[in-house]
Amino acid sequence: MEAALAAVELEVDGKMNKGTIIGISVAVFFVFVFLSLIGTYNSIVTLDESVDEAWGNVESSYQRRLDLIPNLVNIVQGAADFEQETLTEITELRAQAVAAQTGFKDATSTGDQRAAIAAGESTLGRFLAVMENYPTLTATANFRDLQVQLEGTENRINVARDRYNGAVKAYNAKIRRVPGVFVAGMFGFEKSESFEADEGAEVAPKVEF
């Protein structure tokens, strides 16, 4: 009788030990999963912030260009005697440059920003075409100074766009891979769009005279 009771106790202890091990294993598994999700969430947040920061640098570079265009037109507008037709066109271009500058500052969407950028590029291209007929004017120190600033700004724009697209690529890859895809779905992280210039806009305006 005692032997039977001992056997039962051993069996119960064995089951309890086995159950305890399973319980601990399950608990460890869920802790591991939880910590993994936290780490993935924090990584996605960091990458998302990097995308925002990179886009801010793109905006800053474009704003710099749009700010330079009216200054460039202002220098020209009062620096020489133009034919009435040319003077009228320069006045119109200045108004367009200011409108693009203001439109970019007041933009509430990426579409509005791109429209302002395109308007500024169009204005700059037309203005430079007009100025090709005035080589003496474009050789002045003030004009050359702004020319150098514009050239530097174009380089900044290219670098900022490349860095933004790199940040977007890293972020999008993170939220599409496991376990990032599950965390992204749980917390509403969405795919970011790379910067794709309008057709022809990939060629920066050439500031050459």
pLDDT in tens, 26-74: 777 777 778 888 999 999 999 999 999 999 999 999 999 999 888 888 8
Q: Kindly tell me if the per-residue pLDDT of 24 is higher than 90.
A: no
Model confidence pLDDT, tens digit, residues 124-151: 989 888 888 888 777 778 888 888 888 8
**Three-state secondary structure readout of 82-140:** CCHHHHHHHHHHHHHHHHHHHHHHHCCCHHHHHHHHHHHHHHHHHHHHHHCCCHHHHCC
Four-point Cα dihedral 45, 51, 56, 61, nearest 10? 160
Secondary structure string (H, E, C) spanning 144-158: HHHHHHHHHHHHHHH
Domains and CATH numbers, the chain: 2-187 (1.20.1440.20)
- State yes or no: cis peptide before 179, omega within 30 of 0: yes
